[in-house]
Amino acid sequence: MKERILKDHTKVPLLGHGTWHLGEHPGRRVDEIATLHWGIEHGMTLIDTAEMYGNGASEELIGEAIADQNREILYLVSKVYPWNAGEDHIFQACEDSLNRLRTDYLDLYLLHWRGEIPLEETVSSMEELKAQGKILNWGCIKL
């Protein structure tokens, strides 16, 4: 699998699982988990999700799917809602995502899109999450 090397020397797979709509239909759960397993077994170890995908259902499904996987080979990305991106809510939002994903850290945590919270506050909060070891990297998309 091809990778991109970030400025901090982190290797990020260029291809990964997008999980929008996963976990929203209980009748598809077995097939969705099998698809994630198949991808991981074939080298697609980046999994991208967000707290908004199925209102957390996608993260829950991923957590179930990766429970028996080697966490060290996975690159987990999740995204925070803009209204949760400030110091009042980001820490709980991140913890909720970690709990749903059944992991104790995210490889990358993103601001899903720009909202009303000052970007400086979001950056400061992301840096604090990183210092706590909850996230390894952070970023903002669709600014």
- Mind telling me the catalytic residues? 53
Domains of the chain: 3-140 (3.20.20.100)
pTM over 0.85: yes
The whole-number average pLDDT for the span 122-137 is 95
**pLDDT value, residue 111:** 94
Helix (H) or strand (E) holding 91, with range, is helix 90-101
- The whole-number pLDDT of residue 143 equals 45
Could you tell me where the beta strands, DSSP code E, fall in the chain? Answer: 3-5, 11-13, 16-18, 46-48, 75-80, 108-111, 138-140
